[in-house]
Chain A
């Protein structure tokens, strides 16, 4: 089954304790992205990747890191989490041809992160 898998689904942590949220897709998609969803603010892009070893900042990259060492994986790293990073996080992937993202985003099931 074609899917985007995020882990964990729920995570409670304390300020400053490094964490990683994993994301994996089995559709051979070139494009992957991380979003955070907060009430009243919709989906805001954190980072995205057009392909292996190619990553770019989205709209709200501060406090986050990503890596794209393999095509299928795109982990989100919070080196020193703070309470304002408490949010619902979604990973998504899509295919593209040339310079054009031309297919819909497929979202993972989300990771609800609470930083105390």
Chain B
């Protein structure tokens, strides 16, 4: 089955700087790559997703890039704000199942 690795496990950034989280996946047939944000004590919520026929997608301060050849995709958050502090999960869909990475704790330091 699909295996998703997520790095780094913890990331601290100064407010206003950019944050980048990288994920790799193992199944070359995977074609859907969502990112979820989980604030403390809350449920994961989708923040952005990308399909395999697209290389990059942006939504205001967040963007996702996909490199199918290398089987990795990244989340980019620009101009980070304190409310961006959360755990971020990447996922990859293969065989009708979403496999999640272990999560990345992002801490934005005011």
- A105 lies within 8 A of B98 (CB): yes
Total interface residues on A, CB under 8 Å, equals 25
Q: How big is chain B's contact interface, by range?
A: 20 to 34
- A42 lies within 8 A of B102 (CB): yes
- B98 lies within 8 A of A101 (CB): yes
- B96 lies within 8 A of A100 (CB): yes
**Contact A90:B43 (CB < 8 A) given known A45-B97, A101-B93:** yes
- B100 lies within 8 A of A43 (CB): yes
Instruction: Tally inter-chain residue pairs, CB-CB below 8 A.
Output: 50
CB-contact partner of B97 in A40, A42, A48, A109, under 8 A:
A48
Taking the closest CB of chain A, its distance from the CB of B90, in whole angstroms, is: 10
- A42 lies within 8 A of B44 (CB): no
**Does residue A81 face the partner (Cβ distance < 8 Å to B)?**
no
Task: Give 7 A-B pairs besides A45-B98, A59-B1, A101-B98 with Cβ atoms closer than 8 angstroms.
Answer: A33-B97, A96-B96, A99-B96, A104-B49, A105-B34, A105-B36, A105-B98
